[in-house]
Structure 1
Amino acid sequence: MGSVAGFSYKTSWLAVRNRTPGEVADALELHDREALDWATGTDRAYRYGVYVAAPVPGWTLAHGRLHIPTGFDATEPPFPDWLRELSRHLGEVHFFANERVPDYHAWAQALDGELLRAYCFIGERGEVPLFIGDPTADEIELGIGIRGTEPEWEDWADDEWTAWYATTPSESDVMAMAARWSIDPSTIDDATVTATGIYGLPPSVSDTSRNDNPR
């Protein structure tokens, strides 16, 4: 498969405010680093590893379908502390994820070691396994991510289910949240990204276990 510039859907990424790719790569403890162009790096990170680039002023993006984060996802217990720890090193850090199957959509923001907001919806299971902090003004305005999995849901009538489900996000809603908080990566003009970024592997991941799963 040839390189396809950019990333957006069916993957996970971080947006970090006003940090260099080197600082982000250091916080992620990436090893076996390579300097790669935008098209090659983002394409490879769909398959394996993490690519850190600075495609727009003010934001550094770190992309990795399998390895942002490594070994778990936003539904699992290590996630909040992982994001808090990154923000202790990097300041303002946003996380986004979307996977068409199993309809996994998430976003979170942390600042200086504090997890301000985190939300994740798993459509395949019909639940919100992560709901930390109050919904932000952006979520409220968009009408998404504003309700968790509520304890009385088994007793809901059809109209209550419909109202709850209307607040759950699609993959395009993840992009809308990214645009509100930082940048929607699907809108980046690939031709404007001329600087190389840093590709590498996170701790506990070895180059010998690399796979070549396509997007």
Structure 2
Amino acid sequence: MGFGFKTTWLAVRERSPEEVADVLRLADRERLSWDEGVDRAYVSGVFVAGPVDGWTLAHGRRDLTPLDYSAADPRFPESLAALSVRLGEVQFFVNERGWSSHGWAHAVDGVVLRVFATFDGNVPLFIGDVTPAEREVGKGLRGWGDNWRDWQEEDWDAWYESAPNEHDVLELAARWSLNPMLVDGAQVGDAGIYGMPVRRR
């Protein structure tokens, strides 16, 4: 069983679960299998799985990052940059249908390369150039900009055409790194690390 709907996650390139757990400041750590960790992280806490194809996934619906806010917050890029200073290449994904929040972000060595986030029908963050993967998927191609109030019907049609849904987020994740819905315990191998961020205790 993988994850990917109604949650958030990080994909970190070539870092151990211990390194990721340390940067996320996870306390009260337990070693859990993939299935156990995924289930627990949907309720609370964060599960950092063993590497798959060079990527370490950290999953948590409510407690994932030390950011204290969502990708819809204007402070998000600064916090993502700080995370990537310590972890190198970091990708962030949010896929919450109930909150109508879909998005992705990519930072390397403290530099934010791309952020696209929707929240409740708005696009609060559109940073960096549209990536080839986004063009292939056909989503995340347009932000709102300052002139959205002057949009004509064709502008709105183009926006709705490129607005992502929950399946598009997973497709984009697959092209950038991994689709976590397609990962299973056999691929992950060793037990991952489950814990609670210190700030949440």
AA of the residue aligned to 2:99 = P
**Structure 2: stretches of 5+ with no match in the other structure:** none
Cα distance in structure 2, aligned partners of 1:200 and 1:113: 25
1:172-211 residue pairs with structure 2 within 5 A?
172-206=167-201
Q: Percent identity?
A: 52
1:96 aligns with 2:118: no
Instruction: Please list the CA deviations of residues 46-72 of structure 1 after superposition, one character each: whole Å capped at 9, or x if unmatched.
Output: 111100012512010000000123531
Report how many residues are paired: 200
Q: Indicate yes or no: 2:47 matched with 1:73.
A: no
- SS of the residue 1:31 aligns to: strand
Q: Unaligned stretches of 5+ in structure 1?
A: 207-215
- Which residue, 140, 143, 152 being the options, matches 1:148? 143
Q: CA RMSD in A?
A: 1.4
Structure-1 separation of matches of 2:29 and 2:113: 31
Cα deviations across residues 70-126 of structure 1 (Å, max 9, x unaligned)?
53100113311221111111110000110011211010000001111111012x3x2
Secondary structure of the corresponding residue to residue 107 of structure 2 = strand
* Matched position secondary structure for 2:61: coil
Residue aligned with 1:26, SS: helix
**Aligned counterparts of 1:171 and 1:100: Cα–Cα separation in 2:** 7
Q: Match of 2:196, as an amino acid? A: L
User: Is the 8 Å Cα contact of residues 6 and 43 (structure 1) preserved in structure 2?
Assistant: no
TM-score, length of structure 1 as denominator length? 0.88
Letter of the 1:15 counterpart: A
The residue number in structure 1 matching 2:55 is 59
